[in-house]
Structure 1
C-alpha cells in the first residue's frame, strides 16, 4: 500500500537502481539568514555534507514525499519521481511549506480543462462554486462548535451561542452574496469568531499553557498559531496530492484567485476540510498533552514547531488521514483521505455537467 513518506533527516536523496535512497548527513543543518544582510548565507550551497548512513526505501510504497530536512536532489531523481508519479513537497528550516515538485499530469482531459476554465471565466458559475466552498466550510466549523458546546457552561456557553447565531445567519445569507470578495469576508469573519472560542474548547489548563487570542501568520506569533500554520500546510498538500490523481487543473480555482506559483484549487478545497482534519487534530494533540511548549522555539520574531514537534504532528496527521468513517452514500467505510478524493470527483462531475450533477460541498455528518 502506498503512503506519504516523510523525510526529517538532512542529506542527499537519490535514485539507486529502481528504488530510492537517502544518504544522511551527520551534522545538523543551519537556517539561512536574510538575503540582505552581511551575514546572509543564502548562497545555494548545502550547510551539511551527506556523509552518513545510506537508507534505502522501496519506491513502490511511496505515494508522495514530504521533505523537512535539508536535502540535495539531482535531475536523475526528478526524472525518476516523474516516471513514478510521485509529487514531492518541500518545507524550510522552520517547517513552512515552500514548494512542490509536481510530476507531469498522469490524468489528462482536454474537455475537463476547458470546462474548468469556462466556470472560472463565467462570473455566475464561479460564484456558485465559491459559495458552495464557503457554505460547506462554515457548516463544518458549526459541527466542530456544536461538538464542544454541550461540554461548556456559563460565559463559555453564552459566547458559543452568540457565535453559532452569527454563523447560522451568515451561512443562510450566502445565496444573497454577489461577489467573491464578500464571500471571503464572510468566511474570514466567522473563522475569526471561531478562533476566539478555542480557549473555551481547550479548557483553562491547556489555555494557560497555550494562550491564544487571534490568528496571526507570517510569522506565527505563538504556539497555537504555529500549529495552525503547519496543519494548514499539511492539509493544502494532502488536497493537492488528491487533485493530482484526477484530471483537475490545480491552478484554476474559484474562491481563491488563481495566481502564479501556487495551486489555488487546493486552497479552495482545503477550506472545506480544515475543520475536520486540522482543527480537531490540534485540539486532540493539546488536550492529550502530546504537544507541549517545549516543542516550539522562537526564531526571527516568530514561533515555530521544533523538529520533534513536527514529527509528533506528522505522525498524528498520517493516522488521521487513515481514520475511516461509514459513508452514507457509498454504504461502506472510507478514510478521511479518501473523502478528499471523493470531493474532487464531485467537482469533476459538476464541471462536466453543472445541471445534472450540481456540486454540494462536503458536510460532516458525525
Structure 2
C-alpha cells in the first residue's frame, strides 16, 4: 500500500536501480536564511545508503536538507510521485509536481468557465465557506458540553452568531464579502480556543489571536504547520484527479500557488488540523520544549515536527463509516471524494450540484 514518506534526515536522495535511497548526512544543518550561506551543503554524507521501495511511496515530504539530481527528478516523474519541500523552520516552500497523469481538456475548460462566470464562481465559493463553517460549528459543539458557567454562555453566543452568519451566506453578492464573513467567523472561533484547551494548557501555551508570518507564539506556529500539512495533503489528492490545482473559486488564482488546494483545505482544517492540535496539547504530547524562537518568530523544532507529522499520518488513516457508500473510508479518502464531487459539479452543475463536506460524527 502506498503511503506518504516523511524525510527528516539530511543527505542525498537518489535513484538506486528501480528504487529510492537516502544517503544520510552527519552534521548540523544551517538555517536557509543564513547571510553567510553560499548554497553548498551544510552537512556531509556518511556513505551509508538507506533504501526504501518506490512501490510504497505515494509522495515525499522533505524536511531535511536533501540534495537531488535530474535522474531522481525524472524517476519521480515517471512514478507519479510529488515531493513537498519544507525549509529549516518547517515552512512549506515548494512542490516538485510530476507531469499530470490525469488529463481532461473538457474538465479544464469547464473549470475555467466556472471561474470566469461570477455567478457560477460564487456558487462554489459559497459552498466551500458554508461547509467550512458547518465543520467549525461541529468542532465547537463537540467541546461545548465540557464547559460550564460563563464559558458555556460565551460559546453559546458564538454559536448563535455563527449560525446567523452561515444562514446569511446566500445573501453574499461577491467573493470579497464572502471572504470577510469567513475571516470574521474564524477570528471568533480562535478566541474560543482557550476554553476548549483548558487552563492548564493555556498556562503553557498562551493564545490571544491568530498571527502569521512569522507566528508569534507556540500555538500560532502549530496552526501554521498544521495548515501547511493540510494544504499539501489536499494538493496530493487533487493531483490524482484531472482538476487544475491553479484554478480556484474562493481564493483568487495567483502566481506560485495552487489556489484550489486552499479552497478545499478550508473545508477540512476543522476536522484534520484543529482537532489534531487540541489532542496534541491536551495530552501533553507537545510541550514548550518542542518549539524554538528565532528572529522574532516561533517555530516547531525538528522533534516537534516529527510528533505532529506522526500524528497527522495516523489521523489521515483513521476511518469513518460513510453515510452513502455503506463502507468505511479514511479521512484522507474523504478529501479525494470531495475532489470527485467537484469534478461532477463542473461537468454537470445542474444534475450534480456540489455540496461541501459536512462532518456527521
The TM-score range, normalised by the shorter chain, is over 0.9
- The counterpart of 1:326, out of the listed 312, 321, 325, is 321
**1:72 Cα offset (Å):** 0.4
Distance 1:41 1:104 in 2: 36
**1:52 Cα offset (Å):** 4.4
Distance 1:121 1:187 in 2: 22
- The counterpart of 1:113, out of the listed 108, 112, 115, is 108
5+ residue gaps, structure 1, are 35-39
Instruction: Say yes or no: does 1:145 pair with 2:140.
Output: yes
**1:300 Cα offset (Å):** 1.1
Using the size of structure 1 for normalisation, the TM-score is: 0.98
- The counterpart of 2:358, out of the listed 344, 354, 363, is 363
**1:11 Cα offset (Å):** 0.5
Instruction: Say yes or no: does 1:238 pair with 2:233.
Output: yes
Residue by residue, what CA displacement relative to the aligned partner does 1:122-162 show, whole Å, maximum 9, x if unpaired? 00000000000000000000000000001101111111011
Distance 1:222 1:52, change over 3 A: farther
CA contact (8 A) 1:62 1:86 kept: yes
CA contact (8 A) 1:10 1:28 kept: no
Structure 1 residue ranges, 4+ long, deviating more than 4 angstroms after superposition: none
Q: Aligned residue for 1:37? A: none
**1:51 Cα offset (Å):** 2.5
Using the size of structure 2 for normalisation, the TM-score is: 0.99
Distance 2:295 2:307 in 1: 23
**1:42 Cα offset (Å):** 4.2
Q: Aligned residue for 1:56? A: 51
Q: Aligned residue for 2:17? A: 17
Deviates more, 1:157-166 or 1:58-67: 157-166
Matched positions, count: 361
CA contact (8 A) 2:32 2:87 kept: no
RMSD after superposition? 0.7
SS in 2 for 1:105: coil
- The counterpart of 2:131, out of the listed 121, 128, 136, is 136
**1:194 Cα offset (Å):** 0.3
Distance 2:263 2:295 in 1: 30
- The counterpart of 1:353, out of the listed 340, 343, 348, is 348
CA contact (8 A) 2:128 2:356 kept: yes
Q: Aligned residue for 1:126? A: 121
- The counterpart of 2:336, out of the listed 311, 316, 341, is 341
**1:48 Cα offset (Å):** 1.4
Deviates more, 1:50-59 or 1:280-289: 50-59
Distance 1:53 1:284 in 2: 37
**1:41 Cα offset (Å):** 3.0
Distance 1:160 1:172 in 2: 18
Instruction: Say yes or no: does 1:303 pair with 2:298.
Output: yes
**1:176 Cα offset (Å):** 0.3
Query: Which residues of 2 match residues 1-366 of structure 1 at below 5 A?
Result: 1-33=1-33, 40-366=35-361
Distance 2:162 2:359 in 1: 16
Distance 1:102 1:44 in 2: 23
SS in 2 for 1:317: helix
SS in 1 for 2:299: strand
